[in-house]
Structure 1
Amino acid sequence: ADAQAQLAAAAAMPAPAAAPEPVAPQAAGISASERQISAALIAAQQTADAIVAEAQQNADHICSEADAKAREVIRQALQEKQEELKEIDRLKASREDFKAEYLKLLQHFMDDAQNSFPSDLMVSSTPVGSAAAVPVASPVAAAPAAPEPAPVADPFAPLDNFGVDDLD
């Protein structure tokens, strides 16, 4: 019964194109069961070959899908990297703009302070040894120096032409 089942299975499988046709028994000693075993072995070999070919095809398909996915992940990572580099450049430019505006504002306050107070008052009121007594280079070197305005009279200084008779 097993031999007939194997023979039926072998008959159901298509014959391989590359497999040689069974040779007629050369000797009368080859029995029918040996022919059935031979046919079963041929069918098993054909089935194994088909399974291996299908597995190889599946492996190739999986590899190509993995390569495509890896390329897509790398492409996305490079795109994100470019976006992050652009953001870094934008932040650096923003920092430089802020720094320039800050220095301009400081220079404006320094110029305003120099224009508001007489130079002799600024020099004489500075304590000796303080950091303010040390001349500071302008942080904005590219800006031309503003012309010195005429000194403004100190409103708290005593008047030279003020006399006792003026109190009446």
Structure 2
Amino acid sequence: MSRVQVPCHIKGAVALQVGDVRTVQGRPGVLVIDVTFPTAGPFELQEITFKNYYTAFLSIRVRQLGSPNHSPNKWITCLRDYCLMPNPHNEEGAQEYVSLYKHQMLCNLEKVLELRLILRQPSPLWLNFTLEELQFFQHGPQVGDFFLMEDQNYQIRSIMFVLGIVLDYKLNSLKEQ
């Protein structure tokens, strides 16, 4: 099964502050990262990959193209308090690479417009936490789906590319003889 990375715009993390911002007691324990897909349009999300950096728990909310059940302005929780660090006060899991797949989510991930990642770190030991190297993937075209594609120009270019490879191989074989 092939996968294709979806181009995205990752906005800077916004801290949700509780208490006095000038004291340690008021340090942010929650960050929100919004992700938009301006050139992708609505798509079916298959996989999310990232490198954790001291985030203990992750929740993900999704905004999808309107359906009969949901308005396009409604955020739906599709992952709730996913544990990235078994103990927020220890380093285990703090810098691991993580892949999340659509079957792990609480909702359908079709017609995705935006994602909101909610990061939590309840421990006062880690002043900074985030997710690094965020990537989002959808399924790429499969061989069986090739002739069902609507874009005939893409089909023609793909066939010409394959024929070029075969022709190049044949010419190289003849040169070696």
Shorter-normalised TM-score: what interval? under 0.3
Larger Rg: 1
Kindly indicate which of the two structures has a greater share of residues assigned to strand.
Answer: 2
TM-score normalised according to structure 2 size: 0.19
TM-score normalised according to structure 1 size: 0.19
Kindly indicate which of the two structures has a greater share of residues assigned to helix.
Answer: 1
Higher relative contact order (CA 8 A, sep 6+): 2
